[in-house]
Amino acid sequence: EKRFGDKTVLDGIDLDVPVGQFVAVIGKSGCGKSTLLRLLAGLDRPTSGSLTLGAEEEGHSRTRFMFQEPRLLPWASVVKNVEVGLTGIASGAEARKRALDILGEVGLADRADEWPSVLSGGQKQRVALARALVGHPQVLALDEPLGALDALTRIEMQQLLERIWIAQKFTAVLVTHDVAEAVALADRVVVISGGRSAL
């Protein structure tokens, strides 16, 4: 359960996501989808109840979050932005090598030393995806990261995300308003209605 003051946003959510599954969460605006992701990623705490990641209760160290906006550091190069995802994991030459490898996977190795300001919206989201995945997370929480992209770029990003998910075998939880996107990407679709999981 999650409450903000006297407003209950999530109530009675009982959701089990097997390791490696791709789950999409859909529902109307304000139903608690993004709150559920924030709880999963450890960015917020439940008012009551518990979250378990693997064997760890509320263990979020291997969870990464991809937001609706890329949230790149404008003063850091593309590769340095990706290296942020390795904080506490790798540094120096090792961090750069790993960042360049994942940039290659998202098709941006040739833009590694450029500034985020010269990239298109789709390229910025690919950098954000690389940053989220460079540390090989157990869980990737995605809060409508493709919502602001044009239709063709969105399809390319969906295909890229699916390809990397298959290769890295992480668990993915995607919040989206796009039912077609949910069905195309996910093994399972969860509907949240009135703060409860309805399906």
Per-residue pLDDT of the chain (199 residues; tens, 9 = 90+): 788 888 888 888 888 889 999 999 998 888 888 888 888 888 888 888 887 776 555 555 688 999 889 999 999 999 999 999 999 899 999 999 999 999 999 999 999 999 999 999 999 999 999 999 999 999 999 998 888 788 888 898 899 999 999 999 999 999 998 899 999 999 999 998 876 766 5
Task: Domain of residue 130: give its range.
Answer: 73-135
Q: Tokens at residue 186, please?
A: 């996910």
Cα-based torsion angle of the residue sequence 97, 102, 107, 110 in order, rounded to the nearest 10 degrees: -20
In a domain, 105, yes or no: yes
Which residue has 């063709």 as its token pair? Answer: 152
Q: Is the pTM of this model over 0.75?
A: yes
Final residue before a domain boundary, out of 81, 113, 135: 135
In a domain, 67, yes or no: no
Tally of domains within the chain: 2
CATH number at residue 21: 3.40.50.300
Helix and strand element counts for the chain (H, E): 6, 10
